[in-house]
Amino acid sequence: MDSIVVTGNGPLSGEIPIAGAKNACLTLMPATLLSEEPLTLTNAPRLSDIRTMTTLLQSLGAEVSALQEGKVLALSSHAITNQKAEYDIVRKMRASILVLGPMLAREHAAVVSLPGGCAIGARPVDLHLRALEAMGAELDLRDGYVHAKAPGGLKGGVVEFPLVSVGATENALMAATLAKGTTVLKNAAREPEIVDLAQCLIKMGAQIDGAGTDTITIQGVDRLGGATHQVVTDRIELGTYMLAPAICGGEVTCLGGRIDLLAAFCEKLDAAGITVEETEAGLKVARKAGRVHAVDVTTEPFPGFPTDLQAQMMALLCIAEGTSVLEEKIFENRFMHAPELMRMGAQIDVHGGTATVTGVERLKGAPVMATDLRASVSLILAGLAAEGETVVNRVYHLDRGYEHVVRKLSGVGAKIERIHGE
């Protein structure tokens, strides 16, 4: 099994290109199931999760080709030949549930395995199912599969989410584009990935208003066409690499970055003593003189602080001056990286959904183990600022969300290499 070896090597300098958003691309790809005509996605990230979604769509009869070294995805679902998403594929990735809405909308039937993914809490799919039921879907859960049908097609309805859910909003949004009548999504997620999906669906002929607000209105149409769409910048990869110079010192420009994608995150960096400047090329990030300052962080749905940057932010706060409190309000079990950071000398006290971090002047390199996607990169960031060598094991999680992490970090002066296991 592969591992990544990181050695603290001082300040960083240079540019890091930011890829298209994994979470956006994984939502845009199933949109091909809504139309018989081709869908082309540009600025696609080259990740294992994208390959898993490709395999899933192909199993349903879609044609998917990766062009220009994987940066362009050409998709076509002119003929759906299978209505069942099998467990062996779906178990690898939670985003697989996003084929359910489009399949119900176009085929009026689908059988989808309950999904897998990172072990960071229950993340139940009940909000997805409740939304589809509000549009007339008939659902039956048995033998680990969702058996869904919509005789005569989905019908417009009012969906009021009891909790904000990005995935459920995406599933309902896609399903509603072909439903008969008007669908209103209340307490909808507002993430940039939702806006990106809506923009793509509108290019395909959908009638959508309010994406980016908590109320989205969709007027169903009879059919959707093809489109070409550029995947939005990955704000989580962006935030991750912004933290590299924050932890190590130096100055790095994250190419393609925009403050509006991460306004709440940028506010916390400013409070910690990190300067963020928006330029034509992207976001220029530098650490002010001295140690960073402790800040308190509470994860919230967009436009709040992203849960997917909590682990990486904790790595920074481990070396901050003072005591920080991180409150995780999105997922339970999302502090599994804390014991690994403590192996490097961090002082962290976890109680339920709250972690109290007392900064130390310097972390020390140690062998650590990645527990999930974001935890794995937080340990790499910590290793950049640690004294000596840090070996991050079980980095297969990393390939699900970050392309060429070694190349990108070494390109700005980090001492990092990947060791291939047997």
pLDDT in tens, 71-91: 999 999 999 999 999 999 988
Helix, strand counts (H, E) of the chain: 13, 26
C-alpha closest to that of 194 among 253, 258, 261: 261
| CATH number, domain 22-230, options 3.65.10.10, 1.10.10.410, 1.10.3720.10, 3.30.470.20 | 3.65.10.10
Predicted pLDDT at 297: 98
Task: State pTM to two decimals.
Answer: 0.90
Tell me: is residue 23 an annotated ligand-binding position: yes
Predicted pLDDT at 7: 97
Q: What pLDDT, in 10s, does the model give residues 296-317?
A: 999 999 999 999 999 999 999 9
Q: Where in the chain is the domain with CATH 3.65.10.10?
A: 3-19+233-419, 22-230
Q: Which one is catalytic: 25, 118, 200, 254?
A: 118
Integer angstrom CA distances of residue 182 from 42, 154, 159? 30, 11, 11
Tell me: is residue 22 an annotated ligand-binding position: yes
Quick one: tokens of 274?
A: 């990190």
Q: Which residue has the tokens 């300098």?
A: 13
Q: Which residue has the tokens 């990947």?
A: 418
pLDDT at position 377 over 80: yes
Tell me: is residue 303 an annotated ligand-binding position: no
**CATH code for the domain defined by 3-19+233-419:** 3.65.10.10
Q: Are 237 and 250 in contact (CB under 8 A)?
A: no
Q: Are 398 and 337 in contact (CB under 8 A)?
A: no
Predicted pLDDT at 223: 98
Tell me: is residue 330 an annotated ligand-binding position: yes
Quick one: tokens of 55?
A: 């395999």
Quick one: tokens of 139?
A: 């659902």
Active site residue 248: no
Quick one: tokens of 197?
A: 């999906």
For 276-282, what is the mean pLDDT?
97
